[in-house]
Amino acid sequence: MGVDITAVIVDWAALENIPVPERKRALIEAADPDDYDGSPEDGWAWLPPAPDSCPSWCARYEFGGTLGSFKPHFWAGEQWEAVRGRVPDDLRTALDTFLAGLFWTPPGSDSDTQDEDGTEPWYGALWVHCTPSDIPALAQAWSAVETQLEALREPFDTHAADPGKWIGTFEEFTMLLHGWAEVVEEARRRKWGLIGLPI
């Protein structure tokens, strides 16, 4: 059985007004209302002003070609691992920053999400958790990456390409990156946070 991810940007002030024990449930209900029809296939499913069934404090993004699965994001991280040692230092640093803020775990990093008291924080089971203060650094990293993306083509094609598999081509890799960049930029513009829900 696979795992899913639903990316939403969130008005953090509205989120913080929800009692902590209720936040995850409120986010899931906001991101997946009962009458949501699952369209469009890619891009913003809604942005405020939202349809009546969708809250005005969050917006949902659909990654094209992923069917809502987390697998493409995981494999994009694996493909990055295969090529990151073969790209210029400045590009590697920028893309490391961008991906580590979203779905990639840098080598040797500690993935423990426990609070100081040893309990899991309310956001511990989420795929992505970026407060509004986290977003500008991601947007800045993307700005540095975007102008150099073509430099990734040759190392990707040589060391990571596996057509027919998840994120098996350079075009699939960059399409996913552009999707995340669109999410980050909209969150930055609104001064909102970003959350990846396991739905």
Which residues are CB-neighbours of 181 under 8 A, at least 6 positions away?
142, 146
Element (H, E) at 184: helix 170-190
Instruction: Output the tens digit of pLDDT for each of the chain's 199 residues.
Output: 478 999 999 999 999 999 999 999 999 988 887 666 666 678 998 887 777 767 789 999 999 989 889 999 999 999 999 999 999 999 999 999 999 999 988 887 665 555 555 556 767 768 899 999 999 999 999 999 999 999 999 999 999 999 999 999 999 999 999 999 999 999 999 999 999 998 8
C-beta of residue 141 within 8 angstroms of C-beta of residue 95: yes
Q: Are the C-beta atoms of 121 and 178 separated by less than 8 Å?
A: no
Token pair in block for residue 164: 């027919």
- The CA-atom distances, in angstroms, between 132 and each of 36, 72, 137, 139, 190 are 26, 25, 10, 11, 9
197/15 Cα distance (integer angstroms): 14
pTM: 0.90
Note the pLDDT of residue 1: 42
pLDDT at 167: 95
